[in-house]
Chain A
Amino acid sequence: MRYSRQELILGEAGQTKLEQAKVAIIGLGALGSVSSQLLARAGLGQILVIDRDKVELSNLQRQLLYGENDVGKAKAQIGATRLSNINSEIQVEGVVTDLNYKNIDLLEGYDLILDCSDNLYTRYLINDFASKHKIPWIYSAAVKDYGNVYLHKPGKACFACLFEDQGIALDTCETSGVLSPLTSIIASIQAEYAIDYLRGKNIDEKLLHFDLADMSINKIKPSQRKACKACAEDYEYLDGKKELQQIHYRCSRAYEFFQAELNFPELKSKLSKLGTVKGDAKHLFFENLSVFDNGRVMIKAESMEQAKAELAKYIGV
């Protein structure tokens, strides 16, 4: 009864496939909020959601899983609870972590990975992992009034074939803004790709580019790039060779820094003497800092300089 309306389209066999599927969703911001909800409501059997951030007031304009009472809470935690409330018949797991080459094995055994992240590094990392383990994944990205969706099937042209990493910073939601109808459209296309893929329907193997300004969709046929490292099984992101070494600007006035030799317990102890430290054994929140035990530091700051100052003050860089 619950799925009767979509079963008219998917058929009983299609619905059963969805209920048996395991999907991992990376990022529970604007895109992940929508994709995860659509898949939970459609009855996807197992959903893993991963996000490292806390809900902020400026997220509520477009991150549909959250409300005002959630501000300050970890997205993956509150998001997983909300998804379970939407559909108690499915299994939902929320993991508050920064996905990186050391913990990406979290994604092992999933049928499909949905990229709803907000940075290219994570996308190259997922691309390496998915290529190596032959797991299909769906890239989605949105900023300002345009976005992309692409399903990478194992053995076909991968994300790194299409877009080689040149270490260049791209526009972010914070610097350029983003409209919530856009993120909802892009995530809805991604969720439809996921449902179609899982029920065995043929999907256009093209990069889909959507532009809200004129409501246009352009589809570009991919091809494998000869020099692509991931396709040659040289997984630089998975090996940790491409781990971040400097401060990068991210969405929502956040700067990111990777400190390879971080002594996490010691830092936690030191910061506890200065003020309130929240978190758990794997990550801590302190004032404008979120620190993960793998050495990744997220700093809330108005400028790069301020971020550096915070790093110098609390991390010692």
Chain B
Amino acid sequence: MKEYKVKLFAQLKDRAGQSSWSLKSEQVLRTSELLESFFAEFNDLEKLKAITRIAVNEEFCFEDKELTGDEEIALIPPVSGG
């Protein structure tokens, strides 16, 4: 059993009402699957999915990467306003 721990930034943190989220899974997950699972649980945040970036070990990840569960993962939407 792996536990994928994810930090939530900005509007995602705000809307989810929590600064982190985790998912336990028997299977090895890819970044896209982790994203799908998050937005399935927080389905009222669905419209933010298209603009949410995933960072793996403090680095933007644009590819669909296989995860081990040991990474530091973060979900990052852009911020506007000023």
Contacts and interface: CB of A to CB of B under 8 A. Distances in A.
Contacts of A123: 80
Contact of A172 (B7, B74, B80): B80
Interface stretch (A191-199, A215-223, A287-295): A215-223
Interface stretch (A80-88, A113-121, A300-308): A113-121
Given A166-B50, A171-B11, A218-B7, A143 B81 contact: yes
Contact of A171 (B14, B62, B74): B14
A251 B62 CA distance: 31
Interface stretch (A8-16, A25-33, A92-100, A237-245): A25-33
Is the contact region of chain B dominated by helix, strand, or loop, or is it mixed? mixed
A170 B79 contact: yes
Contacts of A104: none
Nearest to A168: B51
A213 B19 CA distance: 10
Interface stretch (A40-48, A144-152, A270-278): A144-152
B6 interface: no
Interface stretch (B23-31, B35-43, B53-61): B53-61
Q: Interface extent on B, as a size class?
A: 20 to 34
Contacts of A183: 82
Interface string A141-169: 11110111000000001000011101010
Contact of A209 (B48, B51, B76, B82): B76
A118 B62 CA distance: 26
Contacts, number: 104
Which of the listed residues B58, B60, B62, B77 has the most CB atoms from chain A within 10 Å of its own CB? B60
Contact of B14 (A148, A176, A222): A176
Interface residues of A, number: 48
B34 to A, nearest CB: 16
B79 A223 contact: no
Contact of A141 (B7, B51, B55, B79): B79
Interface string B4-24: 000101110110000100000
Contacts of B48: 168
B60 A223 contact: yes
A168 to B, nearest CB: 5
A141 B50 contact: no
B81 A220 contact: no
A118 B53 contact: no
Contacts of A282: none
Contact of B81 (A162, A172, A211, A218): A172
B55 to A, nearest CB: 5
Contacts of A221: 58-60
Contacts of B78: 120, 141, 148, 162-163, 170
Contacts of A144: 14
Contacts of B19: 211, 213-214
Contacts of B51: 163-164, 166, 168, 170
A38 to B, nearest CB: 15
